[in-house]
Amino acid sequence: MGDKYLKVGDVIWGKGSAYIVVDYIGKGGMAQVYRGIEKDDNTPVAIKVIKKEQGHSDLYSREFVILRSLYHDYIVKLIDFISSDDYVYIIMEYLPGKTLKDHLKTDRKIDLISDIIKIALALDFAHSNGIIHRDIKPANILYDANREPRLTDFGISVNAFFANVTSKYAGTPAYMAPEQLKGEPIDPRTDIYQLGLILYEILTGHLPFTPDDTREFLEWINKSLIHNPSLYEPQITPAFGKLFMKAITTNREKRFKSAKDFAIEIVKASIQSGYELPHQVMKMFDEMKATISIYTIPSNAFVKIDTGEKILEGITPYQEEKVFPGSHRISVKMPMFSEMISYTWVEPGEMFHSDIILDPSEKTRHYSDKEVEDVVFTQFGIVELRETGMLVKDTETEDNIYQMPYSHSQKKMFVIGRYVVLTAPGEDLKVIDLYKKTMITGERLSRVFKVGFESSKGIVIVEEKKTTWVNANGEIHMIGGSPAEEYRIDADTFLFRKGHTIFVKKDAIVSFEVPYNDIISVHLIPFQTYVVVETKDKLITYDFFGNIVNDYKKTFEGRIKKILTVLISRGRYQYYFLLQDKILPVSYKRGLLIPTGKEYDISEFDHFRLTTSYLVLGQILAFSSKEIGVISLKEHLEYKSLFKVPLFKGKIEKVSKSDPYLTVRTTKGDIHVFNLLSVSSEFENSLF
């Protein structure tokens, strides 16, 4: 054992305190380690003593400098540093527990895995402060009285902030990374490799290498030979097998980029393998949890996210908070589209935003059932209206997945995105959520005067004593009183007029009077908070509180049927007036709409019903009994035929649209379903 540097009772005077030697613990490297107490309060301490004449005191001086900058729950704590003529003394917290090397033989795997997670976080903290440990091994992980691990022995650590730091063959050969053995530059991934070896040893009872001497070991490294963990432990899970392939690969470029990422993946692999990690460990990752936000084109796609903890499911646009960071598998599926599967890496504490463009398949559907009164193909299923009520079928298998009894002879069905609205005189209004398979019941309907419907915005039902609005979110809003003479709907706004009074329903109902006797029409400006009142010779723009924003003379003839909006680029819109026989481009600036550019004559299509559609960006879908076509609202107003009558048996009787699907019913009872995005791709280039 050699001569001891200190004896029991010796006092070492430090900076502001003194330390009394109580017992000899042992030797580590060039140092002797003693147990002591702080003189004033009897706090247990560990005293590491190095004899200067041995020439290694500079290593321990460096350890002091390093530990002074690293204060972390799972890194041994420095208390004092004393240098005398003959010795260097490092005073640290006393860790009465054994080393991880001892615990490997006795402790449960789940406890040891938790320890590695904690040490990985300690390493990440050290790396963020520029420190590479270089000698991660079971003997350098000690435990306190509460069995909490500490990373110790920073004597050969180096500063990663200095470029091209080489190993100089420092460390413990059995736990050295390939770059250390070869004398190549090292970086934080060197420590990750070493910690990966320890985790391998915890789960298998072995290191992943067979050779005993350095030369043979180097040959294994050069050939990237690593024993499959299942060789030692047949029950090892694929999650941990995949983790080892990344943590202890010879190619450091393929390793985890940070110790924090390594810790995160250990947690996920543990959960996937059925290990129940302690609450204390899981809580450490709460602040790291990220937010995933997924948008698809088209929207309302079905998305599944494998977080490592569980499978999340939703409809786009979809956002999920408190998702474990790391690698995630995302799958997106929509009928008549190609299923998309991707992997993404979510950074700790950050928000991952993904825009996904789904590719449409080239197939169309022919669907025929003589008992069906009405049918709409949607992203959530085939919605049928039958004599007995509503039936929803799976879009692929056509199996029944939901039904709603509703047998009134005058019933009608309207599909708004993911919602189905059923109406009939004398029956309760019903709104069905196709995704959640739930129903909301509204008030009983009396005599219905008229129904206004837009598949992407909502439905308005006008009765004698009330007007009901079902918006794009499936919410029912009822306004009592005499019937509305005119109404408009936007995504979250309902506008209606009774004589000279205009009502706007957004968060609440506001109303204001307009002093004009020759009102022709009223309109909402899409995506804005303005109302346009059209008279015989003027356009007046109001805000939602009834304040006049603009008052200007009409420069065109005819009545505005609708104000159309086309998204040109992110946050930039082009506006159009849809008149009886023409489409008029208009410039917009803070409530002011002025016709500009060349108008487009649609008089030859006056028998068409025109409606905005999610087709190619900026289109109007137009159809008649003979033809379905598209009018482009991009740079040049043009018309292009999608389908003509020879495609169908009989004439076109009804066209239903639930973006991006078009359901065409003919007078012969045949039903054709088209993916508009797929169809449009065939003529998009010729149109633009």
User: d(Cα 283, Cα 313) in Å, to the nearest integer?
Assistant: 24
CB atoms within 10 A of CB 468: 22
Would you state the structure tokens that stand for residue 610, as one six-digit string? 């025109």
Q: Span 661-672, mean pLDDT?
A: 82
Per CATH, the number for 289-357 is 2.60.40.10
User: d(Cα 622, Cα 627) in Å, to the nearest integer?
Assistant: 8
pLDDT in tens, 527-560: 788 999 999 999 999 999 999 999 989 988 889 9
Instruction: Identify the band that residue 318 occupies on the pLDDT scale cut at 50, 70 and 90.
Output: very high
Do residues 259 and 119 touch, judged by C-beta distance below 8 A? Answer: no
Of 607 and 90, the one with more pLDDT: 90
Range 11-93 classified under CATH 2.60.290.11: no
Exposed/middle/buried for 148, CB within 10 Å: 0-12, 13-18, 19+?
middle
pLDDT in tens, 614-628: 444 446 777 777 778
Question: Against a cut of 0.75, is the pTM above it?
Answer: no
Q: For strand 381-386 and strand 374-378, is the pairing parallel, antiparallel, or unpaired?
A: antiparallel
Q: Span 418-440, mean pLDDT?
A: 91
User: d(Cα 44, Cα 42) in Å, to the nearest integer?
Assistant: 6
Q: For strand 466-471 and strand 131-132, is the pairing parallel, antiparallel, or unpaired?
A: unpaired
Do residues 22 and 39 touch, judged by C-beta distance below 8 A? Answer: no
Q: For strand 290-297 and strand 351-357, is the pairing parallel, antiparallel, or unpaired?
A: parallel
Q: In 3D, which of 580, 581, 502 has the Cα closest to residue 541?
A: 502
Angle between helices 109-128 and 259-272 (to 10 degrees): 160
- Mean pLDDT lowest among 125-134, 241-250, 275-284, 357-366: 357-366
Residue 454 carries which side chain, given as an amino acid letter?
A: E
Of 52 and 63, the one with more pLDDT: 52
Range 100-283 classified under CATH 1.10.510.10: yes
DSSP string, 511-549: EEE---S-EEEEEE-TTSSEEEEEESSEEEEEETTS-EE
Domain range list for the chain: 11-93, 100-283, 289-357, 606-688
Residues counted in the chain: 688
Is pLDDT at 56 greater than 60 in this prediction? no
Instruction: Identify the band that residue 688 occupies on the pLDDT scale cut at 50, 70 and 90.
Output: very low
Is pLDDT at 163 greater than 50 in this prediction? no
User: d(Cα 6, Cα 4) in Å, to the nearest integer?
Assistant: 6
DSSP string, 350-381: SEEEEEEEPPBPS--EEE--TT-SEEEEETTE
Q: What is the pLDDT of residue 617?
A: 42
CA dihedral 478, 480, 485, 487 (to 10 degrees): -20
Q: Span 1-28, mean pLDDT?
A: 87
Q: For strand 548-553 and strand 389-393, is the pairing parallel, antiparallel, or unpaired?
A: unpaired
Instruction: Identify the band that residue 37 occupies on the pLDDT scale cut at 50, 70 and 90.
Output: very high
* Most confidently modeled range among 426-435, 486-495, 596-605: 426-435
Give me the residues paired with residue 145 across strands. none
Q: What is the pLDDT of residue 568?
A: 65
Residue 558 zone, left/alpha/beta (φ > 0; ψ -120 to 50; rest): left
Q: What is the pLDDT of residue 575?
A: 86
Average pLDDT, the chain: 83
Q: What is the pLDDT of residue 60?
A: 56
